């Protein structure tokens, strides 16, 4: 078995164990393999092991790989900060965007989504650990943005996403993920029915699954340590 194959299996096992201890069905938790910085060959290798969904953070880099891998039926998830001048590329080539944090960006994605494609699935990113300068709306700001997105016909609002500040404290990890779940439930109570909680990465996916994650975004545990850039 290659390293990627073995790593993927280990991550799937972690998801399954966490789901079991949460009393949840493991098939309700989708794995997004975060392939940023890794070449197309690594993605093709993961695909050969049955992995179909990939997450990318840099539009330019992602586009090259999406073109190279155009023959494979992959689902592409954009998970990074969104610059206005990249909205057209993102809206044209991704199935999901997890990191919407401004109405202006949502409008640009909506306007750029090609007519021949289904509506773009989007999540609102929430800054659940209150870090200064971190992407995402502050807790409390999600309702206004959710309503703005729900009114855009070429976007489909699916849920909320968070990247909490890393901490080894599992109680704190769970608190932050629980906050995102509560915010999602709050939107549901306001009539915005959402089915996605995108939370949990290599170091905290167990906590996220215990708090209701439906998508975990895992890079390092599958592809290895990224080079610092």
**Interaction site with ligand PLP (CB under 6 A):** 34, 36, 57, 79-80, 163, 201-203, 217-221
Nearest residue to the partner ligand PLP, using Cβ = 219
Question: Cβ atoms within 10 A of the Cβ of 209, count?
Answer: 28
Measured from the CB of residue 202, what is the shortest distance to ligand PLP in angstroms? 3
Helix (H, G, I), strand (E, B) or coil at 203: coil
Measured from the CB of residue 219, what is the shortest distance to ligand PLP in angstroms? 3
Q: Which is nearer to ligand PLP, 80 or 212 (CB)?
A: 80
Q: Which is nearer to ligand PLP, 154 or 206 (CB)?
A: 206
Q: How many CA atoms lie less than 13 Å away from 115 in the CB half-sphere?
A: 0
Measured from the CB of residue 155, what is the shortest distance to ligand PLP in angstroms? 19
CB 137 within 8 A of CB 178: no
Measured from the CB of residue 36, what is the shortest distance to ligand PLP in angstroms? 6
Question: Cβ atoms within 10 A of the Cβ of 142, count?
Answer: 22
Residue 136 and residue 126: Cα distance in Å, rounded?
4
Q: In terms of Cα–Cα distance, which of 7, 29, 8, 70 is closest to 206?
A: 29
Residue 127 backbone dihedrals phi, psi, to 5 degrees: -85, 85
Q: Which is nearer to ligand PLP, 34 or 197 (CB)?
A: 34
Q: Which is nearer to ligand PLP, 47 or 58 (CB)?
A: 58
Measured from the CB of residue 96, what is the shortest distance to ligand PLP in angstroms? 12
Q: Which is nearer to ligand PLP, 34 or 183 (CB)?
A: 34
């Amino acid at each position: 078995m290659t390293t990627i194959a073995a790593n993927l299996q280990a991550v799937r096992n972690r998801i399954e164990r966490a789901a079991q201890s949460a009393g949840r069905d493991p098939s309700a938790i989708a794995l997004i393999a975060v392939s940023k910085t890794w070449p197309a060959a690594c993605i093709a290798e993961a695909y050969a092991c049955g992995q179909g969904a990939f997450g990318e953070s840099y539009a330019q880099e992602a586009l090259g790989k999406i073109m190279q891998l155009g023959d494979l039926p992959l689902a592409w998830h954009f998970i990074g900060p969104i610059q206005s001048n990249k909205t057209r590329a993102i809206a044209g080539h991704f199935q999901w965007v997890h990191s919407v944090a401004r109405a202006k960006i949502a409008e640009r994605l909506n306007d750029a989504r090609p007519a021949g494609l289904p509506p773009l699935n989007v999540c609102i990113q929430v800054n659940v650990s209150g870090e200064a300068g971190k992407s995402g709306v502050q807790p409390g700001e999600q309702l206004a943005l959710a309503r703005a997105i729900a009114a855009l016909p070429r976007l489909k609002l699916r849920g909320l996403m968070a990247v909490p500040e890393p901490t080894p404290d599992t109680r704190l990890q769970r608190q932050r993920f629980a906050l995102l779940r509560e915010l999602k439930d709050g939107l549901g109570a306001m009539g915005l029915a959402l089915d996605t909680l995108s939370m949990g990465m290599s170091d905290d996916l167990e906590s996220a699954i215990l708090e209701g994650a439906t998508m975990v975004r895992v890079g390092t545990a599958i592809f290895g340590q990224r080079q610092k850039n």
